[in-house]
Amino acid sequence: MHTFVTFTHVLACFILIFVVLLQTGKGSNMGAAFGGSSQTVFGSSGAGTFLGKLTATVAIVFMLTSLLLTYTATQRSSSIVERSQIPITQPASPDTATVPAAPSATPE
């Protein structure tokens, strides 16, 4: 399951990049530079294009897979940090532990 979600996430990444790069900017035509608009029938923003709707859909898939991958990563029992920790052994009792003597602070 984790592999499938990861594959879907990477695929959504590439599709999202590709679809965003295919779209044209809002002021890409020359008439927009002089205040004219060729899309006055649908208002100033224009109609929702297929690429715009596809961008929104793929962005939602990307966000959901991001959240799902984050959730599954927190639920895994072992991590690299847990596996790399070296067990620390404690002395059996405080009587057997040797404490180094403190240096004397006598002025010369």
Q: What is the mean pLDDT of the chain?
A: 75
38 or 98, which is more confident:
98
Residue 12 CB partners (closer than 8 Å, separation 6+): 58, 61, 62, 65
Element (H, E) at 13: helix 2-22
The whole-angstrom separation of Cα 70 and Cα 76 is 10
**pLDDT tens-digit profile of 47-58?**
568 888 999 999
Confidence of residue 66 (pLDDT cuts 50, 70, 90): very high
What is the pLDDT, as a whole number, of residue 98? 62
User: At 32, is the pLDDT very low, low, confident or very high (cuts 50, 70, 90)?
Assistant: low
Distance of alpha carbon 3 from alpha carbon 6, whole angstroms: 5
What is the reported pTM? Answer: 0.55
What are 72-107's pLDDT values in tens digits? 888 876 656 666 666 667 766 666 556 666 666 666
Q: Mean per-residue pLDDT for 29-40?
A: 56
